[in-house]
Structure 1
Amino acid sequence: MLLAVHHIAVICADYSRSKTFYTDVLGLRVIREVYREERDSWKLDLALGNQYIIELFSFPDPPPRTSRPEACGLRHLAFAVADIDAAVTQLAQKGVITEPVRIDPHTQQRFTFFADPDGLPLELYEVN
């Protein structure tokens, strides 16, 4: 029945700041950007490589979402990287602070977490 994950929707508090983060810091490519006047909302479709991946939305005064302590619901969004040390260095050069790199005890793969401008937990997961 299911074929793949089509996209992930993210609602942000400050559209300009989040757009800059996802495009300039993380390097996602803009597919299309639409202002929906009836909702006073921006919708930005973003791709990683050739894969459509994130819809970034703005809405007037969205309520905050609890992510710490861990709350029920979507926990985090993980991005695969080939070299976690290089990815952490690139993020640090752009002012993004990451947690210390850890090792998944089940897969022995390295990973770390960081946050988007609204505190959404994001993960880098090294794949070889």
Structure 2
Amino acid sequence: MLQLQTIHHIAIICSDYHRSKRFYTEVLGFSVIAEHYRAARDSWKLDLALNGIYTIELFSFPEPPQRVSSPEARGLRHLAFSVQDIDAAVKSLAAQGVACEPVRIDEFTGKKFTFFTDPDGLPLELYAS
């Protein structure tokens, strides 16, 4: 059997590199590990960490096609982040102009959660730890 250890990173392609870089660093609080412009591809690659752990590769490409982002569409449903205080996290996002869905309770765990989107409509979730 394959012996996976952890998830190494999540790759996200954005439509507006500078807008998404600001969102992931200034709104969500990721730190920049490395940033590279690849002239041959007219593409940026931004390596981001969450609490010191390499987590997201943010890419830009000229004219990337749109992807269906409905949570019930085939493929990646959403990316979830754990937080200690959902209500404080929702207020922090609102202060940055990011709207969240109403907070709900997970019927199986009893934990609070909510959804919001990144600048390209990628569904993101906050889940109480």
TM-score range (shorter-chain normalised) is over 0.9
Q: Displacement, 1:70?
A: 2.3
TM-score (normalizing by structure 1): 0.97
For 2:60, the aligned partner's letter is S
- The 1-side partners of 2:46 and 2:34 are apart by 6
Partner SS, residue 76 of structure 2: coil
Determine the C-alpha separation between the residues in 1 that align with 2:71 and 2:109. 25
2:107 matched to which residue of 1? 105
Matched, 1:20 2:12: no
Q: How far does the alpha carbon of each residue in 1:16-42 deviate from its partner, in whole angstroms, 9 at most, with x for none?
A: 000000000001000000001111100
Aligned equivalents of 1:67, 1:89: Cα separation in 2: 24
Residue of structure 2 equivalent to 1:117:
119
SS of the residue 1:20 aligns to: helix
Contact 2:71 2:77 in 1 (8 A): no
Identity of aligned pairs, percent? 69
Which whole-Å CA distance do the structure 1 matches of 2:88 and 2:73 have between them? Answer: 31
**Match for residue 52 of structure 1 among 40, 54, 70:** 54
Structure 2 portions without partners, runs of 5+? none
What secondary structure sits across from 1:122 in the alignment? strand
Q: Tell me, yes or no, if structure 1 residue 82 matches structure 2 residue 72.
A: no
Give the paired residue count.
Answer: 127
Match of 1:96 among 90, 95, 98: 98
Alignment match of 1:63 (pick from 38, 55, 65): 65
For the 8 Å contact 2:17–2:59, the answer to whether it is kept is yes
Give the Cα separation in 2 of the matches to 1:69 and 1:89.
23
CA RMSD of aligned residues (A): 0.8
Which stretch of the first structure deviates more once superposed, 64-73 or 37-46? 64-73
The corresponding residue for 1:30 is 32
Alignment gaps of 5+ in structure 1: none
1:24-80 Cα distance to aligned partner (Å, 9 max, x none) = 000100000000111110000000001110000000000000012621000000000
